[in-house]
Amino acid sequence: MGNSMKRKKSGFQGGSVLFFCLMLLSTNMFSVDFEAIKNPKPNMVEKNYVALKKIKTIDADLGNGEYLFQPFSLAADKDSIYVYDLLQAKIFKFDPDLRAVKKSFGRVGAGPGEYGGTGKSYPVFIQVGRDGKLYANDTRMGKIITFDLEGKYLGEFKNIKTNMKTPVVDAAGNLYIVNVKDNAIDVLNEKQSLLFSVANQKDSFNYLFSLPSSSYLTTATKNFARDLIISLGPDSTFFTYFPSSSTMMMKSKKISKIKIWPQEALECYKSSLKELLEKEKDRYRFMFPRVLFDEDNDEVFLLHFGINKKRGINALYQVTGNGELLKVLYIKVEASTPFTRFELKRHQMFYAIEDDKLIIYKEEIK
């Protein structure tokens, strides 16, 4: 971390109730033994498949002299959708069904509130924090810029080095990051002082650095901390997802641990890994590499499986916090179909990016 990060010398100061709970339970929360997927048995069965219907594709020409060339990351509050354009280094604020641009802001530069560059070399991931502010993580420049929801520049976290892409901010405006160097989750306040670290003991992460005996996972397990995913749900439930074991841990009133191994997804995962390892031994993938939180339902999250070749679908698994598989949402795909990346679920709509197109899907009602 940068020099601006200063560790508190005296215990806990300020912050939310969630902070206090996490400090008390941090050791227990991350000392649970995990195993990389070796020879697991399915704990779920896919019974309910529901198709997603494309209801709208957003044209590049947005009208009034505005253009959306390459949507890259999305965020939402209760009234608006925010889209970052990779080629313009600009954020667009839309109404929920993307009919009209309410505002656009942002530009390339070296000053406060400006992005380091445009294009794939300068990815920026945006998120509306639980404090109601908009955060933009300029990963190339190592800074997270804070705006109000009208695009006014408020400040920034500097010298941020983390595996996290989408910013995670709680209701008090404190930033959660994965500190890969120390294998910890660090929590910083708005002044970038370190409030505390969760699991700053390497021993808590021993399973991340031991190779499994099976060929289902490769040396990627050594670097697993780089792929750790954390988030705060709509009700501020603290989630930690471990892709290598497809395991979700969460802390609300209690700590719970869920292994997410659906039968068909597990079979497809093993098959794809075997195929991948036969081609390039150092390559790897996870069964559910991405997590989307259902902004319409505090108790539900979505795991993006991706392509199921056997069924010819691109699939999202909808799972409750109790570990119940509700349904598999999907779109049909052909060999020539560009990959669709689901980014956001809000207002009963699924927002996705396909190449340079922004698309809205809804559940198909029969």
- 338 in the Ramachandran plot: left (φ > 0), alpha (ψ -120 to 50) or beta? beta
- Cα–Cα dist 122/126, whole Å: 13
The confidence score (pLDDT) of residue 148 equals 96
* Candidate from 21-30, 71-80, 112-121, 204-213 with smallest mean pLDDT: 204-213
Cβ atoms of 6 and 194 closer than 8 Å: yes
- pLDDT at position 93, please? 96
Which tens digit of pLDDT belongs to each residue from 311-335?
999 999 999 888 899 999 999 998 8
Question: Residue 74 pLDDT more than 70?
Answer: yes
pLDDT tops 80 at residue 200: no
pLDDT for the residue numbered 331: 97
Please report, for residues 23, 47, 239, 303, the alpha-carbon distance to residue 299 in angstroms, rounded to integers and kept in the order given.
24, 20, 12, 14
The pLDDT confidence band at residue 253, using thresholds 50, 70 and 90, is low
Q: Residue 202 — very low, low, confident or very high, per pLDDT cuts 50/70/90?
A: very low
pLDDT for res 252: 65
CA 275 to chain centre: 27
Split at pLDDT 50, 70, 90, the class of 274 is confident
Nearest to 182 by CA among 196, 202, 198: 202
Distance CA 185, CA 196 (A): 9
The CATH architecture to which 17-363 belongs is: 6 Propeller (2.120)
Q: How many CA atoms lie within 13 A of 78 on its CB side?
A: 5
Residue 18 or 257, more confident: 257
Q: Where residue 33 falls among pLDDT bands split at 50, 70, 90?
A: very low
Instruction: List helix spans (H) across 114-166.
Output: none
| Interval 214-234 mean pLDDT | 55
| DSSP assignment letter at 322 | T
pLDDT in tens, 258-272: 899 999 999 998 888
Residue 101 in this model has a pLDDT that exceeds 80: yes
Buried (b) or exposed (e) across 140-171, using 16+ Cβ within 10 A?
ebebbbbbebebeeebbbbebebbbebbbbbe
